[in-house]
Amino acid sequence: MSKTLIIAEKPSVARELAALVNARTRRTGYLEGANYLVTWAVGHLVGIAEPKAQNDAWNGRWSLAQLPMLPQKFKLAVIPETAEQFEIVRGLIHREDVSEVVNATDAGREGELIFRRIYLAAQGKKPVRRLWANDMTEQGLRKSLANLLPEKDKRNLGLASFARAEADWLVGMNFSRLFTVKANVLISVGRVQTPVLRILAERFHEIETFVPQNYWTIEAECVKTESGEDASSFWATWHSPPDYRETRLSDEAAAGRIVAACAGGQAVVEGLESKRGTQKPPLPFDLTTLQREANVRFGYSAKDTLTFAQSLYEQKKCITYPRTDSRYLTKDVFEDILKSLRALHPHYPQLTQMAAERIAGKKRAFACVNDKKVADHHAIIPTAACIDRRRLSPEEWNIYEMISLRTIATFLGEAQFQTSTVHITAYGERFIAKGKIFKDRGWMCAEPWRARDDAPLPPLRKGNKLSLVNVQAVARQTKAPPHFTDASLLGAMETAGKFVEDESTKEALKERGLGTPATRAHIIETLVARGYVAKEGKKLIATGQGREAAAIVSRLMPDVTSPELTGNWEKKLKDIENATLSYSQFMQEIRELVRDKVELLRAKDIASLVFENRSRSPRPLDGTCPLCGAEIEETEKNFRCSRSRHSKGGCPFVIWKKMAGTDITESMAQELLRHGQTAQKYAFVSKAGTTFNARLKLEKGKISFDFSPCRQPKS
């Protein structure tokens, strides 16, 4: 009697499938039944062979003569650590009583690669069908077994998986060897890891060179003065004319004059604006948004969140496939969503009842239901499996609850609120107060941390008299951009380095992201393991070694290390999956890029560049700091006090190289340091877009505009 061989990715999944097909007899490395054999991989059993196995000329000590290494056909090699299991699987594939093979590896690009490499290396010839499971419950697996896909349905996914792995091999092997040989120091280069490292290194540079600037805002506590009316106080902020958008003052004395003019005085309500606003329910999670949210709320790394989610999927069976890049559901999945809500009901009875009533009530369209937005996998949602909280670790429960509440929130109503803006005038100065009141929190009932507390204003009308009972100038400082965390870096990787918050824009950029949801956590951990990135609490900080590698590779291959270009490569891998680009076209492009870059860099003196990078420091300027007397140094963006880099108590003196639309040259900075002013006037542009002429003046460590007639500078 012929048998079907099922190859799973992990032993645990193999055991579950074996139980469903009555393959209960244990053998070495597999289980057997009357009609089925069930075996497993242990992750990757086969990989791309090392260079020396691809070509004898690439064996031995690394040298430029070996480059570029461009195999016409990539040879595969069995991974030594799992060779015994590979031989078992290979033997089963060739058993005479096996008539077909079922690919039951993880339902994604990497799972497809694992199976196809095994089948190629084993020289399998028998027909293959694909088990594609979003739901690892018994019901979900039975449904998938009953609906096996033809192998050709996932052929393009397989081609994309080979293209990704081979492109990574070509870029990593060639450029890592080239830079290491030329620089005489180990430099690891990766198709995705190096652009990510560049993002981190650039952020480190921004923070390192940032010089804080002092500024002041003016806050006024206002009280209505009409008798018999609500006398509750509220706070308003001073705004600068003419457009009343700017609230910052760089001159402490000017702030003091406004405070002195208004303190204890009277004001009047000049105008009021009241608008109704709504906020739509969020979409369900994909893996990246889940990882970002878990990092912000609980401090979990991307890797840990994926581990917890994978456990909830594979072992606890309470969520759907987590390695998805979609935040939408198909109509078929939506038809069963009430089953998921029933499983959640014991934990969230009121919320699930509200969501169920909206779903089961009158016909309505939900933004998350869109077949066109789902490729291989839909968004992450709870399964119909009822879960006992005691079966989960605290970390697993946190992830499960996030997914559950987000799913409920998706089917609740819009949040509705009223915003009020009040314009107040006092002694020719304008103050503005804003308030917000939630009329209906809608979906925010499921995620209450999203809704800030109400900030109502007292009842006001135009012409109301107010007393300014407390007016104060609040000293503040500009802040450097924060170091990346897992959450913010995942967001940057998702949109190929473009930092956007708008959800629709994020969706448009996702196809051009760095890596995939399934690989981004691994990329971060790889950078940490190689010593290129350090973790300090939630912060991800490029190390000196990482910054050096990023600087050298970026200096010589800026296009290859560009997040945008690498994101476009990722888009092309998606195109291969969708049959709009061929595997051969993509690989030809990568081969040509590697060949061209190797030839271009072969003659470059990279060792000197390493030395230059290590010895480079900010260039000292002729002059001393007017605040502390230390040296002045020139950096890429400014002329600053050399003591500004001190982590605490650093000197704030700086002359920016761009002021009001005009470049500040070294000679202009020297004039300011030597004479306290520039000898001539220069053209500047105001925030309103108008041009004005002024000299620059340096007084008490601050740069200001001087509109007085030109005169000879002080000697």
Give the containing element (helix H, strand E) for 382. Answer: none
Q: How far apart are CA 164 and CA 162, in angstroms?
A: 5
Q: How far, CA to CA in Å, does 584 sit from each of 66, 160, 385, 512, 590?
A: 24, 10, 44, 20, 10
Strand positions, DSSP E, 441-525: 465-477, 484-485
Q: Is the pLDDT of residue 265 over 90?
A: yes
More confidently predicted of 226 and 458: 458
State the pLDDT at residue 357.
94
Active site residue 313: no
- Domain annotation covers residue 155: no
Whether 677 and 635 map to the same domain: the answer is yes
Residues 6+ apart with CB under 8 A from 236: 219, 220, 222, 422, 424, 431, 432, 433
For residue 217, how far is the Cα from the chain centroid? 33
What secondary structure does DSSP assign to 42-54, as a single string?
-S-SEEEPPHHHH
Question: Distance between CA atoms of 685 and 50, rounded to whole angstroms?
Answer: 60
Same-domain status, 540 and 582: yes
Point out the domain boundary residue: 410, 438, 466.
Answer: 410
Q: What is the CATH number of the domain that holds 203?
A: 1.10.460.10
Q: Among the three residues 477, 498, 531, which one is the final residue of a domain in this structure? A: 477
Q: Does 12 share its domain with 91?
A: yes
> Is residue 320's pLDDT more than 50?
yes
pLDDT band at 379 (very low <50, low <70, confident <90, very high): very high
Residue 690: which pLDDT band, with cuts at 50, 70 and 90?
confident
Instruction: Indicate whether 622 pLDDT > 90.
Output: no
As a dihedral over the C-alpha atoms of residue 386, residue 391, residue 394, residue 400, rounded to 10 degrees, the angle is -20
The closest alpha carbon to 278, from 415, 92, 390, 419, belongs to 415
CA pair distance 635, 632, nearest whole angstrom:
10
Question: What is the phi/psi pair of residue 135, to 5°?
Answer: -125, 120
Collapsing DSSP to helix, strand or coil, 400 comes out as: helix
pLDDT level of residue 199 (50, 70, 90 thresholds): very high
Q: 253 near 235, Cβ under 8 Å?
A: no
- CATH code (residue 467): 2.70.20.10
What is the DSSP secondary structure assignment for residue 515, as one 8-state letter?
Answer: S
Crossing angle of helices 606-615 and 544-556, in 10° steps, is 130
Q: Is residue 261 included in any domain, yes or no?
A: yes
Long-range contacts of residues 450-457, Cβ cutoff 8 Å, at least 24 apart: 450/415, 451/415, 457/234, 457/420, 457/422, 457/433
Q: Which residue bears the tokens 């390695």?
A: 323
For the chain, counts of helices (H) and of strands (E) = 22, 27
Domain of 296 in residue numbering reads as 287-410
Give bridge partners of residue 683 from the DSSP assignment: 693
Of 312-321, 541-550, 641-650, 690-699, minimum mean pLDDT range? 641-650
69 inside domain: no
Q: What is the mean pLDDT of residues 173-194?
A: 91
pLDDT of residue 713: 40
| Residue 159 counted as domain residue | no
Question: Considering the chain, what is the average pLDDT of its residues?
Answer: 90
Same domain, 198 and 221: no
**What pLDDT shows up at residue 193?**
95
Among 58-62, 300-304, 620-624, the minimum mean pLDDT is found in 620-624
Indicate whether 314 belongs to any domain. Answer: yes
Displacement of CA 630 from its chain's centroid (Å) = 40
| Predicted pLDDT at 715 | 36
Taking only the tens place, the pLDDT of each residue in 413-437 is: 999 999 999 999 999 999 999 999 8
The position carrying tokens 């652009």 is 195
Q: Is 67 within the bounds of a domain?
A: no
Q: Which residues of 427-459 are buried (b: 16+ CB within 10 A; e: fewer)?
A: eebbbbbebbebeebbbbbbbeeebeeeeebbe
Rounded to whole angstroms, the Cα distance separating 90 from 76 reads 14
**Strands 429-440 and 233-239, sheet pairing:** antiparallel
| Residue 108 sits in the same domain as residue 27 | yes
For residues 256 and 294, membership in a common domain is answered with: no
- Do 487 and 574 sit in the same domain of this protein? yes
Last residue within a domain, chosen from 410, 439, 457: 410
Residues whose CB is less than 8 angstroms from the CB of residue 59 and which lie 6 or more positions away in sequence, other chains included: 51, 52
Contact assessment for residue 341 and residue 354, using Cβ atoms and an 8 Å cutoff? no
> Alpha-carbon distance 118 to 124, whole Å?
9
CA distance 584 to 162: 11
Q: What percent of the chain has pLDDT over 90?
A: 67
Rounded distance, CA 624 to CA 409, Å?
A: 59
Instruction: Answer whether residue 60 is part of any domain.
Output: no
Residues 371 and 351 in one domain: yes
Cis peptide before 482 (omega within 30 of 0): no
Residue 343's CB: how many other CB atoms inside 10 A?
Answer: 18
Query: Are 539 and 585 contained in the same domain?
Result: yes
CA distance between the termini of the chain? 105
Question: Is residue 680 very low, low, confident or very high in pLDDT (cuts 50, 70, 90)?
Answer: confident
Catalytic residue among 30, 119, 300, 321, which?
A: 321
Q: Going by C-beta distance under 8 Å and a sequence separation of 6 or more, which residues neighbour residue 88? A: 28, 29, 30, 39
Are residues 657 and 685 located together in one domain of the fold? yes
Phi and psi, residue 259, nearest 5°: -60, -45
- In a shared domain, residues 544 and 647: no
Do 7 and 124 share a structural domain?
yes
What does the alpha-carbon distance between residue 245 and residue 251 come to, in Å, rounded to a whole number?
17
Six-digit token string for 628:
């502390």
Q: What is the CATH number of the domain that holds 330?
A: 1.10.290.10
- Residue 58 in any domain: the answer is no
214-224 and 128-130 as β-strands: parallel, antiparallel, unpaired?
unpaired
Number of domains into which the chain is organized: 5
Specify the pLDDT at position 231.
Answer: 66
Q: Which residues pair with 699 in a beta bridge?
A: 702
